[in-house]
A and B are shown apart, each in its own frame.
Chain A
Amino acid sequence: MRQPETVLLPPVALVEPTEKAIHDSLREMGTPHPEVLLLDMSQCEYIEVSALVYLLAVLADRVANGLRTRLRLPEHKPTRDFMRVWLMPQAVRSISGCRFFDLVADDSRRFFGENETPEGNTYTRAFHGGALRHLVNERFFALNCIAPQRSSTTHLVAQESARWDEPLIQSVLRTHLDGPASYVGSRIVYESMTNALNHGGASTVVTASKFCASSKHDTSNAGHFTVSFWDDGTSMIETLLEALRAGKEIKSGTAHQEPEEHLLIFADHGGRTRCEQIVSSALVPSIASERHEVLFALTLPGITRDLHRVECDRACAYLPDQSAAGPGMGLPVLLNTAIDVFRGSVAFRTDRYFMNIKRASGSSVAHYRAKIELRDDPDWPPFRGNMVTVRLPLKKTERGQ
């Protein structure tokens, strides 16, 4: 049997170091698609929830390319228990179609069955707060793989956002977040899910979330609440470019909004800034626009891949020229809620780009600061699908999980 190429994931597997470790290792191997790849998590003492979502995206890409992947589990028991509680085995099975056991490296199989009772899980035992412990035990925040074909988009979105409307999660959100708790379901989850499900060809959507206390090394904030969404559909950049190539109108009226200015920073893979510019929210990308500009434009009010969708004909007749919150307002609403209301940030991974948007500094004329990094060379395969990660800061006086 062919020996697997190995990627060693870092001890603190935040999503960016995880992404970098995989990328750098594949570069060293000289191929983006080794026939057998071992994702070695043995050193991981902490895995960020969005890193789990990222690993699933990598796995999905390899499955789609007919490649084998093996997983070496963390030596650190609480990290393994965290993966159990977040239903990583079930998510891996859902994405790969294989039993988790079959994907796990032989030397990690000794960990199966190590918790004879639920109480053996060291991760959940560590919780102090009853409400959070209950939600974690109920797998409220766990990885959830959704197959859009099985149900209508409306149904799936309504179902997912309704989960966030229950009394307990509302109390938890109200306690830990500085903003209207119900906006998490009705605006952040609703808009992110709608966005994911509307990407062409999406056959799987993965969601997960987590409260994270501040790290030992960084006590400048109280921690954050993260919610991630990934879909395996066409890149949102490509979707908009397709509309432009087809000569479609991509901007709807947004008469209520005065144009704003945003700071757009474009950097290469090493983080070196290639250009910094102030961009108006009235920007309409064209076929000649750079791909990173197209990505940023997708977050501007009224930009949509298809202004004249079927459903528009009847309803838009009421509003001939002033579609105050019509097509192309989903992502702007997401940004407004996450950044302006909750003072958080929103990150996008798609194609070869990573974009992080947050409030610009107080002294800047710009409203948002969007930093876009080119993650790969054009000859390297792009990231599969689209990943959106929303991070909301916890209240200063609170600590998370």
Chain B
Amino acid sequence: MKRFRALQFRLGAASPNEIKPQCIAFYRWLVQRVTLEDVEISPDNPIDYVPLSYEDIGQNNQCTRVHAACTAAFAEGRSSVDVFVVDVEGPASLARSHISIQIAHAVSLAIAEEDDRTDKRDMQFILIQHELPPETESSRIILAQHLESGRVAIFSHAGRSTLGKQSPRRYNLEEFRLKLTIAQGSPEALLSRKMIRRVGRFAMRGRKGAIECSRFFYDGRYCEAEIASLLEDEIVRAGLPDDCRICYWCPDSPWLTAPAEAVALRLGLRATDLYRIESPSAFGADDYVLLLVDCMVTGRTFAGLLDRLLDTGLDSSRVYGVTVLAASPTDFQSHTRRMEHRGAIYEVSYFMAIENGTECDWCEQCPGYTNRQEEYLRLTADEHWEMAIAAGVKREEDVPDYRLGMPVVIDYPQVVDKNAPWLVSKMGVLLAEEGVEIPGSNLFVCPLDEHGSSVLAECLSLLLNLDVVGIPRETVDTFGSDNEPLREAEWRRIGEKRPIWYVRLGGSVGRVGLLDEFNASGRTLLGLRRVVERFGKDVSCMLVLNDLNPEWSEHQDVNVLSLYGWQSY
């Protein structure tokens, strides 16, 4: 039985974090495939997570952290570990050569040291990188001899490896990609967590050309990679012919053009933007078209596009429909929406189901349609109350110890649940406007296990690549109180226990922001601030969805940024 230990470098992360079980399962599978033996994870310190912030990566000298972390992990595990996995995760644009050189150097040093020992063991190293380095690349040159001997294997995220001809016996690329996708999060799940849904009244073409409105407008600018991945999978899964032509339609959704063109290029297919051409060039009876649209609510646009295609002579049986978003799906299992047109049935595949927003109670009194292209920096009253009405009100839960719960509050967890990507995208713009850089090594802290702030935190991380650390409510409340001895006692207590949030916050670099759903008395933000400052760190800003106490906020020496607010406390 081989034992393995993993070291994960997370590019662009500001603080240490736990590694997901799916990731560990992927490492286990990969080690098993490479060694062709049964494997188990090393029981002592099995996984190391090393955050590399933007500053760490940007400053050459800071990259030596990579070397230090590798060397320490290899030294600790040398007597008990057979295989070390070193994984570089995060945006590919941050994967500087310096990082792979440091890893390669640390690996070659560890092998050299091991070979000098009388009790030497045949340690193996599996390196996972964004791309498979060509033979002329610096880090690969350092490892050339060990790659040849099989002591080291490098894998790219696409599943290519230095194992060469041995690979097919051990795994296939599809299997590798599937396992890695599960470890990194499926594109489908990421799409639903990153798709922005704006609230408003957006004009759309209704029956017989009349203007109707939709209460939602979708913006997939943060999900282009996921859409491209899903589209490519769909084409491969459906077994569409090699000469299939992708005809896409997205005049209101510029985010669809890049994925459509990227996939066409990747698969060697032709792509046509139907909006940009007067009429598609005539199709022959043998042609095959993938008709791709951004969103399918009433189905009228899709039907109009079908008309355009069929009028050129295309056979209806040779049109395959795909929509990124679909209201009223007919089969949730197969992710399809059935529609009938000119006597033919189309099973249109979709990637994400959405709410039908066309039932609007306000059309009679509509003051005007919402601008799709531009929006205000903060939430308008209309937008805020539209979300609030949809979410409803409730008695306040998650009440701090120092005050009574409010009898009626907007159900902010619901508001956040349904609108988090939009709210977070607006927060991103607000932070940029206020000079809080994104990306940067900005870490945010929020109260732990509170539904609304947890969802916002996850979204901040997914959309803006910001790290968020949750601090337990009791600690926040204690630090928010005026009782200094109590605060000191709490500080000692957490210092002894060293919970994960303590390690993450303590190990972070750069400035720290504070995040909460809403601000009432200011005590939660004060508590969070005092915790952060106890670690000797500066607070960059306080970010809340709704500021119910702007008077308190105005007196802070740090910017309190909110998307909406009124004085109610």
A residues within 8 Å of B by Cβ? Answer: 129-131, 134, 151-155, 157-159, 161-168, 170-172, 174-175, 179-183, 185-187, 189-191, 194, 255-256, 309, 311-312, 315-316, 318-319, 322-330, 332-333, 336-337, 340-341
Contacts and interface: CB of A to CB of B under 8 A. Distances in A.
Given A166-B258, A311-B61, A330-B60, A182 B138 contact: no
A341 B136 contact: yes
A329 B259 CA distance: 35
B130 to A, nearest CB: 5
Contact of A325 (B94, B105, B137, B437): B105
Contacts of A187: 96-97
A334 B98 CA distance: 11
**Which 5 A-B pairs have CB atoms at the shortest separation, nearest pair first?**
A318-B68, A180-B131, A324-B105, A168-B258, A325-B101
A124 B561 CA distance: 42
16 contacts: A134-B261, A154-B58, A154-B440, A155-B440, A161-B93, A166-B224, A170-B262, A187-B97, A315-B68, A319-B64, A324-B104, A325-B99, A328-B60, A329-B98, A333-B97, A333-B101
Interface stretch (B235-243, B264-272, B322-330, B543-551): B264-272
B67 interface: yes
A9 B64 CA distance: 48
A269 to B, nearest CB: 34
B265 A256 contact: no
B225 interface: yes
Contacts of A154: 54-55, 57-59, 440
A326 B273 contact: no
Contacts of B106: 324
A333 B96 contact: yes
Nearest to A333: B97
A253 to B, nearest CB: 11
B388 to A, nearest CB: 35
A188 B373 CA distance: 34
Contacts of B400: none
A162 B439 contact: yes
B271 A130 contact: yes
Contacts of A174: 266
Given A131-B264, A318-B64, A325-B98, A158 B92 contact: no
Interface residues of B, number: 59
A315 B60 CA distance: 10
Contacts of B137: 336-337, 340-341
Interface in B214-262: 224-225, 228, 257-259, 261-262
A260 to B, nearest CB: 11
Contact of B63 (A157, A171, A325): A325
Given A167-B262, A311-B59, A180 B133 contact: yes
A366 to B, nearest CB: 15
A172 B265 contact: yes
A315 B62 contact: yes
- Chain A CB within 10 Å, residue with most, of B138, B263, B266: B138
Given A182-B130, A182-B131, A167 B62 contact: no
Nearest to B440: A155
B8 interface: no
B261 A131 contact: yes
Residue among B61, B437, B439 with max Cβ neighbours from chain A (10 Å): B61
Given A134-B257, A162-B94, A166-B224, 6 more contacts: A130-B261, A158-B54, A162-B93, A162-B439, A171-B262, A315-B65
Given A165-B91, A186-B96, A324 B101 contact: yes
B330 to A, nearest CB: 29
B138 A336 contact: yes
Interface string B99-137: 101101110110000000000000000000011111011
Listed residue (A131, A158, A185) with the most chain B CB atoms within 10 angstroms of its CB: A158
B437 A152 contact: yes
Contacts of B437: 151-152, 155
Nearest to B441: A154
Interface of B: 12, 54-55, 57-65, 67-68, 71, 91-99, 101-102, 104-106, 108-109, 130-134, 136-138, 142, 224-225, 228, 257-259, 261-266, 270-273, 437, 439-440
Contacts of B58: 153-154, 157-158, 194
Given A162-B439, A315-B62, A171 B92 contact: no
A281 B266 CA distance: 40
A55 B137 CA distance: 34
Given A154-B54, A329-B98, A171 B67 contact: no
A336 to B, nearest CB: 5
A322 B105 CA distance: 9
Given A175-B265, A325-B102, A182 B108 contact: no
A185 B67 contact: no
A157 B228 CA distance: 26
Given A170-B262, A180-B134, A318 B97 contact: no
A221 to B, nearest CB: 19
A298 to B, nearest CB: 14
B65 A324 contact: no
Contacts of A166: 224-225, 258
Nearest to A154: B58
Given A131-B271, A187-B96, A155 B54 contact: yes
B105 A152 contact: no
B97 A131 contact: no
B64 A329 contact: no
A161 B97 CA distance: 13
Nearest to A308: B61
A168 B61 contact: no
A153 B271 CA distance: 38
Given A152-B437, A309-B61, A319 B68 contact: yes
Contacts of A315: 59, 61-65, 68
Given A174-B266, A329-B101, A134 B258 contact: yes
B311 to A, nearest CB: 22
Contact of B93 (A190, A191, A341): A190
A165 B93 contact: yes
Given A158-B93, A256-B105, A318-B68, A183 B266 contact: no
B93 A182 contact: yes
B97 A337 contact: yes
B133 A186 contact: no
Contacts of A163: 93
A325 B60 contact: yes
Given A152-B437, A170-B262, A179-B134, A326 B105 contact: no
A311 B59 CA distance: 8
Contacts of B64: 315-316, 318-319, 323-326
Nearest to A197: B58
A157 B263 CA distance: 27
Nearest to B136: A340
Given A333-B138, A341-B137, A312 B61 contact: yes
A355 B138 CA distance: 22
B61 A171 contact: no
Nearest to A184: B93
A182 B264 CA distance: 19
B138 A130 contact: no
B250 to A, nearest CB: 11
Contacts of B95: 182, 186
A168 B224 CA distance: 9
A186 B136 CA distance: 17
A322 B259 CA distance: 44
A382 B379 CA distance: 53
A131 B64 CA distance: 39
Given A158-B94, A165-B93, A315-B61, A171 B266 contact: yes
Contacts of B263: 171
